[in-house]
Amino acid sequence: MLPAGADIGTLFKDNEDDNTFQGSSVPDVYELTSDSANIIQGNLTQLNGDSLSQFHSDDVILVKNTQFTSQQLTFNENTLQIDVNNDGETDANIILEGDYSNGSLIVKQLLNDTIIAFNTSPTAVFLANAITELNNNILVRDGIQLAEIVIEDDDLGVNEISLTGKDKERFEVRDNALFLIGANPNSEIQDEYEVTLNVYDPTIDNQPDVTTNYTLKIVNASDNVDALLNSPFYRFQNSDFHGIYIWAGDKERQTINQNYPNFKEEGVAFKVAIEPNDNLIQFNRFQNELGAYLYVGEAESQNIRENYPNFKEEGIAFYALDGNANRGIDIYRLQNTQQPGTYIFVGEEEKNNILANSPQFQLEGVAFEAIV
């Protein structure tokens, strides 16, 4: 509602609705006792001598047709003094009745007007979408985002975030997010990192208003999935056709070693599962006309069945973690462009070595996660 100003002082009382009050040329009284958001507006003359009871963080004073900064505003014994000309002479006094010890008044420009608002300290800070575990020796590179920092506040003033705690050097705040920085974590050296986030509004004081603690655990990926991925798969290379590989479990490994001397065993490539599980993805094996083998999930299998008749499906090969599970070790797929249709599946170190020294190999991404 918009009550009209009067020539005599007016008593304005708010209600549960948001209110806009227009001051008059004589001192008015405003009782702001509800939780509604109120605007008390007027020019300097109309606001001079007004009395505001229980002015709070949802209320604002709108000084019409006048601009000034916070340096021209003082608060002394419940009286807000405005010195527009910055000459040491007070141009308007506004009485604020209430407890403002835990806040300060913020000044903002709005076109030709000036807004005065009551700034309160932040009331809470918490971490959203937080990662609480990372795999051992994960690559930190330029930093890993761990969580979004959410601050509950009145959106006035300026919130600053500081980090404390024994591991604070391993963390960094960027914009409104918490990052892990520094060396790749090694669980054998340190398997847990702790930090405290402190939030304060320097326009009020330099003491932390709210805090939250954060703990990051470094885990050995294999420890988490040993019960799932417990079947070693061995890599063989065809000595008659360099670049053609097959990956086989224990039973097929024995058959290959006994009956196919042209396949040379190169050791355990990774550990996967041979039984289905709700947490695992089924991978099927295909062989193409070159004799090369390809291992893919069900979605890619369907595409191959429909569009690539040169690939013959041989059945379920194994079960592994999805490439985005972040619970195992990434296994990458690379294709030899000099021999299209030939593939190799390798871990991080071998992938990097291949890309650095064998430019004919093209990286096709993470195929799945396993244990090595």
83 burial level (CB within 10 Å; 0-12, 13-18, 19+): middle
Predicted local confidence at residue 36, as pLDDT:
81
Residue 236, pLDDT > 70, answer yes
Predicted local confidence at residue 6, as pLDDT:
41
List for the chain the helix, strand, coil content (%; round to 5): 10, 45, 40
User: pLDDT-derived band of residue 101, with 50, 70 and 90 as boundaries?
Assistant: low
Q: Are 14 and 32 in contact (CB under 8 A)?
A: yes
Mean local confidence (pLDDT), 100-112:
73
Q: Are 43 and 97 in contact (CB under 8 A)?
A: no
Q: Which domains does the chain have, with CATH numbers?
A: 11-120 (no CATH), 124-219 (2.60.40.60), 231-370 (no CATH)
Mean local confidence (pLDDT), 226-254:
94
Residue 74, pLDDT > 90, answer no
In the numeric block, the tokens 């609480």 are attached to 132
Residue 108, pLDDT > 90, answer no
Residue 1, pLDDT > 50, answer no
What sign has the CA pseudo-torsion 317, 323, 324, 327? positive
Backbone angles phi, psi at 307, to 5 degrees: -125, -10
User: pLDDT-derived band of residue 132, with 50, 70 and 90 as boundaries?
Assistant: very high
In angstroms, the CA 122 to CA 197 distance is 13
Residue 102, pLDDT > 60, answer no
**Lowest-confidence pick of 21-30, 53-62, 205-214, 292-301:** 53-62
Q: Which two tokens stand for residue 183?
A: 């060396």
* Half-sphere CA count of 169, side-chain side, radius 13 A: 3
pLDDT tens-digit map of 36-67: 888 999 999 999 999 998 887 778 899 999 99
SS3 call for 371: strand
Residue 19, pLDDT > 90, answer no
pTM score, two decimals?
0.49
Mean pLDDT of the chain: 89
324 vs 145, residue with greater confidence: 145
With a CB cutoff of 8 Å and minimum separation 6, the contacts of 79 are: 93, 94, 95, 96
Q: Are strands 19-22 and 38-42 parallel, antiparallel or unpaired?
A: parallel
In angstroms, the CA 91 to CA 88 distance is 9
Predicted local confidence at residue 139, as pLDDT:
87
Mean local confidence (pLDDT), 188-199:
96
Predicted local confidence at residue 223, as pLDDT:
56
Q: What percent of the chain has pLDDT over 90?
A: 62
Mean local confidence (pLDDT), 260-268:
97
Predicted local confidence at residue 255, as pLDDT:
97
What sign has the CA pseudo-torsion 237, 240, 242, 243? negative
Residue 3, pLDDT > 60, answer no
Q: Which two tokens stand for residue 180?
A: 């892990």
Predicted local confidence at residue 57, as pLDDT:
74
**Lowest-confidence pick of 128-137, 163-172, 288-297:** 128-137
Please choose, from the candidates 285, 356, 342, 291, the residue with its C-alpha nearest in 3D space to the C-alpha of residue 364.
342
SS3 call for 174: strand
20 vs 205, residue with greater confidence: 20
Residue 2, pLDDT > 90, answer no
Q: Are strands 29-31 and 11-13 parallel, antiparallel or unpaired?
A: parallel
In angstroms, the CA 25 to CA 46 distance is 4
Q: Are strands 171-174 and 60-63 parallel, antiparallel or unpaired?
A: unpaired
Helix segments in the chain, DSSP class H: 44-47, 221-225, 250-259, 298-307, 348-357
Q: Rounded to the nearest 10 degrees, how much is the dihedral formed by the CA atoms of 337, 343, 345, 346?
A: -40
Between the two ends of the chain, the Cα-to-Cα distance in Å is 71
What sign has the CA pseudo-torsion 82, 87, 88, 92? negative
Residue 135, pLDDT > 50, answer yes
Mean local confidence (pLDDT), 88-101:
80
